Amino acid sequence: MTGDWFDEELHPELRQGLKIDRVLYQSGDGLQDLVVFENPRFGRVLCLDGVVQTTEGDEFVYHEMMTHVPILAHGRAQDVLIVGGGDGGMAREVLKHQAVRPVMVEIDPDVVEFSKQHLPSLSNGAFDDPRLELVIADGCTFMKETEKRFDVIIVDSTDPIGPGEVLFTAEFYADCKSRLKPGGVIVTQNGVPFVQPDEVTNSWRRLGRSFQDVHFYLAAVPTYQGGDMAFGWASDDASLRRQPVETIEARFEAAGIETRYYTPELHVASFALPKTVRDLLR
Ligand code: SAM
C-alpha cells in the first residue's frame, strides 16, 4: 500500500489501484498477509497476500455464479463441498438451497474470524447456520482423507500461489473426482483468461485427466482485473451444462431464492465461450 492507495500486483505487467478510505484490519503474522480496507466504490475489500479476494461491491457476482450454476444444473444436490471460501460468501449462497448440507474446508482460521468481524455482510449469518460444517484444514489433505461423498464441489481458492497452489493440480482434481457421487460436478475459481491464460489451459488439461467433460463458464467480476473471469467446470455428463433454460428456470423458481446477478438465462449463456477462450482449450 502506498499512501492512501492499495496497489494489487498480481500480474507482473499490470497493476490495479484501489483508493483506501480506511484500513479496518491488517495482519502479517498468520498463514497469509491479511488486509481489509474501505473503498468508496466497492465498500469493504479483503486482500490476501496482496491480492484482492472479494469486495462488498461485486462479491455477489462471483458467489452466485459459483453456487447456483452447478447446484441448479445438478438438480438434486444435497452434499456440497466448498474448498476455501473463508469469507463466507460462498456458504451464504449455498445455504439458500434448503435441501443442501454444505461442508466448508478452509485452511486459514484467521480469514474466517476476521471476515465474521469485518465483512459480516458476506457470510450474512452462514457461519451460524446448523447445516454448515466448517472444517479448518488444507483442502488438499481433506480431499485425500475424507470418507464423505459430494454432489457438487466448489473450489473457491486463492490464485495458484502460496497455499492455493495445491488446489490447481491434476492430483487434487483426481482426488475430487474420487469424492464426487455419480452425476456430480466440480467448479473452480479459474482466473481471468485475458491476463492468466495458462490457468485455463492448465486446468483444462489437468481436469481432463479425471473427467470426461471439461468446460468453462464466464462472468465479469470488476475487481478481478482483466476482463471476464473463468470458472472451471468438470463432470462425466456433458448434458449437465447443456440443459434448456426452461429446466433451469423451473428449478430456480422451485428453489425460491433471491439473487442480484444470477438468472437462468445467464446460467445457460455463461457457457458460451469466445474464441479467445476456446483457443486456450488445447
Ligand atoms: N474469490 C477469491 C478469488 O477468486 O481469488 C477467493 C476468495 S476466498 C477468500 C479464498 C480462500 O482460499 C482463502 O480464505 C484462503 O485461505 C483459502 N485457501 C487457500 N489455499 C487453501 C487450501 N489449500 N485449502 C483450503 N483453503 C485454502
Question: Is 213 within 8 Å of 237 (Cβ atoms)?
Answer: yes
What is the band of 27 on the pLDDT scale with cuts at 50, 70, 90?
Answer: confident
Terminus-to-terminus CA distance in the chain, angstroms? 38
pLDDT at 127: 97
pLDDT at 29: 82
pLDDT at 12: 84
CATH of the domain at 156: 3.40.50.150
pLDDT at 194: 95
State whether 176 and 247 are in the same domain: yes
pTM over 0.85: yes
Residue 3 pLDDT exceeds 80? no
Residue 1 pLDDT exceeds 80? no
State whether 29 and 67 are in the same domain: no
Domain boundary among 55, 70, 86: 55
Ligand 1 center to 28 CA (angstroms): 16
Measured CA to CA, the distance from residue 233 to residue 96 in angstroms comes to 21
Domain count, the chain: 2
Residue 90 grid cell: 460462498
The per-residue pLDDT for range 202-225, each reduced to its tens digit, is 999 999 999 999 999 999 999 999
Nearest CA to ligand 1 atom 2: 53
Which residues, at least 6 apart from 83, have a Cβ–Cβ distance to it below 8 Å?
105, 139, 142, 143, 153, 154, 155, 156, 157, 167
Ligand 1 center to 225 CA (angstroms): 18
Instruction: Give the range of the structural domain holding residue 113, as residue numbers without chain letter.
Output: 59-278
Domain boundary among 37, 55, 73: 55
State whether 123 and 21 are in the same domain: no
State whether 39 and 160 are in the same domain: no
The per-residue pLDDT for range 68-93, each reduced to its tens digit, is 999 999 999 999 999 999 999 999 99
DSSP annotation string for 23-35 = EEEEE-SSSS-EE
State whether 144 and 250 are in the same domain: yes
Q: Please report the atom of ligand 1 found closest to the CA of residue 229.
A: 4
pLDDT at 216: 98
State whether 72 and 46 are in the same domain: no
State whether 125 and 205 are in the same domain: yes
Residue 10 pLDDT exceeds 90? no
State whether 41 and 69 are in the same domain: no
CATH of the domain at 18: 2.30.140.10
Which residues, at least 6 apart from 88, have a Cβ–Cβ distance to it below 8 Å?
112, 115, 116, 119, 122, 123, 124, 126, 127
State whether 144 and 19 are in the same domain: no
Which residue ranges have their beta carbon within 6 Å of ligand 1? 32, 48, 53-54, 62, 83-87, 105-108, 111, 138-140, 156-159, 163-164, 166-167, 189
pLDDT at 11: 84
Which residues are tagged catalytic? 156
Nearest CA to ligand 1 atom 14: 86
Average pLDDT, the chain: 95
Ligand 1 center to 98 CA (angstroms): 25
Nearest CA to ligand 1 atom 20: 164
State whether 121 and 41 are in the same domain: no
Residue 141 pLDDT exceeds 90? yes
Ligand 1 center to 160 CA (angstroms): 10
State whether 178 and 107 are in the same domain: yes
Q: Which of 155, 45, 179 is nearest to 107 (CA)?
A: 155
State whether 102 and 206 are in the same domain: yes
Ligand 1 center to 200 CA (angstroms): 18
For ligand 1, pick from 106, 134, 188 the residue to mutate: most ligand atoms within 8 Å of CB. Answer: 106
Domain boundary among 36, 55, 74: 55
